[in-house]
Amino acid sequence: MSVASQDNAMRTGRAARVFIYVFLLVFALFYLLPFFIMVVNSVKPLGEITGGNMIALPKTWTIEPWLSAWSTAQIGVEPTGLRPYFWNSIKMVVPAVIIGTIIGALNGYILTKWRFRGDTLIFGLMLFSCFIPFQIVLIPMARILGILDIAGTTPGLVLVHVVYGIGFSTLYFRNYYAAFPTELVRAAQIDGAGFFQIFYRILLPSSGPIAVVCVIWLFTNIWNDFLFGASFASGGAAPMTVALNNLVNSSTGVREYNVHFAGAIMAALPTLLVYIVAGRYFVRGLMAGSVKG
């Protein structure tokens, strides 16, 4: 009797496990399928997409769509391909990430190791700025960029992204430095070390993990931004996401789906690469930092 019931328990266990694996695999398929379709259809001639099966592998492989998306496709009115816009995005994202990370590190250091009256309020104000809908700042931002004469330029976008990145980068470093032993800082102070010395010599050497998190977070957010790019740099200085959207929605001529897919992968590659190389830190950081005060 007891043997039978034990056997029964094992069998339901096995059935449950099979169910769990099937469930997980179905979802893995759900997440992979759109990307698979993008890749497969970016190396097909157009005729195979319009006249054939989207999920099938190409009968004729071609890299023509990639070449076209990169250097000859019509973006808006110019047949430049995505190449100039790709570089626009690079020129925007690199300075914005570097400046944003430095500011975040210094702010986090001050807000945890040099506390003063009202610092929680300042942090709270910075933190809330992460969550505002950016629609609320679009109109005045457009005015200010116009006044500073950097409307429609990459430096203008760098400024925008630095400003609206301060909240998150400060949050990450503040949470990280909060766990750093304050006694070490006090000891260094007694030994006569100054504000910047303590930062360089004591906190910075152990900031690697959180710097990685902050860089990845800023990089993906700024690279993937569309709203600011579309609002403040829609012409020649447009970032990659805006150019991709223009490519897909340009109404002239035949819809070159294969070129659209190739362009979409190009726009996705930098962030995917970052995710693959350092995704573990990214996830850990998001879980530890993004939601805790």
Partner 1 sequence: MATDTSVDLRTRLQNWLPKLVLAPSFALVLIFVYGFIIFTVYLSFTDSRMLPSYNLVGWENYSKLFRIREWGVAIKNLAIFASLYILICTVIGLFLAIFLDQKIRGEGVLRPIFLYPMALSFIVTGTAWKWFLDPGIGIENTMHLWGWDSFQFNWIKDRQMAIYTIVIAAVWQTSGFVMAMFLAGLRGIDTEILKAAQMDGASNFQMYRRIIIPQLRPAFLSAFVILCHLAIKSYDLVIALTGGGPGNATAVPATFMYSYTFTRNQMGIGASSAVIMLMTIAAIMVPYLYSELREKK
Binding residues for partner 1 restricted to 246-265, rule: CB under 8 A: 248-249, 257, 260-261, 263-265
Stretch that binds partner 1, among 46-54, 62-70, 72-80, 207-215 (CB under 8 A): 46-54
DSSP string for the chain = -HHHHHHHHHHHHHHHHHHHHHHHHHHHHHHHHHHHHHHHHHTS-HHHHHSS-SSSPPSS---HHHHIIIIIS-BTTB---SHHHHHHHHHHHHHHHHHHHHHHHHHHHHHHHS--TTHHHHHHHHHHHTSS-THHHHHHHHHHHHHTT-TTSHHHHHHHHHHHHHHHHHHHHHHHHHTS-HHHHHHHHHTT--HHHHIIIIIGGG-HHHHHHHHHHHHHHHHH--HHHHHH--STT--HHHHHHHHHH--SSS--HHHHHHHHHHHHHHHHHHHHHHHHHHHHHHHHHTT--
Task: Tell me the closest approach of the beta carbon of residue 41 to partner 1, in angstroms.
Answer: 8
235 binds partner 1 (CB under 8 A): no
One residue of 167, 168, 211, 213 binding partner 1 per CB under 8 A: 167
Which C-beta is closer to partner 1: that of 211 or that of 262? 262
Which C-beta is closer to partner 1: that of 77 or that of 136? 136
One residue of 61, 87, 114, 200 binding partner 1 per CB under 8 A: 114
Which C-beta is closer to partner 1: that of 52 or that of 84? 52
Binding residues among 178-197 for partner 1 as defined by CB under 8 A: 194-196
Binding residues among 71-100 for partner 1 as defined by CB under 8 A: none
One residue of 98, 106, 188, 204 binding partner 1 per CB under 8 A: 106
Task: Tell me the closest approach of the beta carbon of residue 194 to partner 1, in angstroms.
Answer: 6
Task: Tell me the closest approach of the beta carbon of residue 150 to partner 1, in angstroms.
Answer: 14
Binding residues among 47-66 for partner 1 as defined by CB under 8 A: 49-50, 52-55
Binding residues among 122-151 for partner 1 as defined by CB under 8 A: 122-129, 131-141, 143-144
